Amino acid sequence: MSVAKPDIREISIEALEEFFIQHNAPKFRAIQVQEWLWKHRKINFNEMSNLSKADRNLLSEHFTINSLKILKKEISVDGTIKFLFFVDENRFIEGVIIPQLNRLTACISSQVGCSLSCTFCATGKLKLYKNLTSGEIYDQVFLLNDYALKHFNKPISNIVYMGMGEPFLNIKNVLKSIDLITSPNGLGMSGKRITVSTVGITKIIKKIADINPNFNLAISLHSANDIKRSEIMEINKTNNLIQLAEALLYFYKKTKIKPTYEYVLLGGINDSIDDAKALVDFCKKIPSKVNLIEYNKIKDGLYEKSSTEATNLFIRFLEKHNILVKLRRSRGEDIAAACGQLAIQNK
């Protein structure tokens, strides 16, 4: 029985250098291979033209290159584009390009499925099938950036880890993917244009603070009332608001990065003035800002979108108390590409 060859994109450069040394080849070949893999995203060893045929054959004999493929795309009436990626073994993920006036944002996934079961999120109704590798996360950005260059004549300007899955439950691969995206031998993007969103896994927030992250942090908050948050987000039962505030204060003191609180307005659930008061109190614990998000309908969903009146009252209350707040309008709702809707509904 043959043993599956390892994916070369999951091999460290040090291990690759050692591989070449063991096969009587100069170790600088490893740097050349890394550039082909990440900067140029070559997925065939034969395309690595500055390697000898013998070296290319050596790599083919010992390694494989796993990569994502775009299977289809859908374009919304508002210009948002949703992409279906094939991962492996009949597993799929979705990613999105959101065109705006001065930016092109790529929304990418970190897991196939999700384990957290947030009640307002379509992905939360799926099982968790696997963590994406760093290469699979990077592929989404590379392919979406390639699409942007060809169809918008400019690169992706911003990346948000807000697609399928919980990034902090795949933190090792997420961090490695960010290293690749920001590396001169990768896409060379600024970490200031990358935002990683988490439901608020407190021990990982503290760990991230200790490594001096080169990206922005967003917290899926959705309620500043412990009882309500536990009802709509299972994670709050083990990572409650007191623990979350403590972890975020630690994060801010270490990094001076202001977290952004994401808050989906659910009609009659978390959009009252009392809810706004609780949010103001939570915001004042740490320098921060708030992104209010319109609720997007999902299959078998329990909620309705907040009324215009409730939304405006909520915003005015936050502004009155000097909270920096922005309302994120739904984008791509007609193709199930909006916030909370990614769930591989059509393959």
What positions carry a catalytic annotation? Answer: 94, 339
Question: What sign does the dihedral 273-275-278-280 (CA atoms) show?
Answer: negative
Largest CA distance in the chain: 72
The residue behind tokens 């696997």 is: 130
Burial grade of 61 (CB within 10 A; 0-12, 13-18, 19 or more): exposed
- Residue 292: which of 240, 330, 239 has the closest Cα? 330
Query: What does the buried/exposed string (b/e) look like for 183-212 if buried means 16 or more CB atoms within 10 Å of the residue's CB?
Result: eeebbebeeebbbbbbbbbbebbebbbeee
Sequence-ordered list of residues with C-beta below 8 angstroms from that of 146, at least 6 positions apart, any chain: none
- Tokens describing residue 64: 């494989």
- Tokens describing residue 247: 């972890």
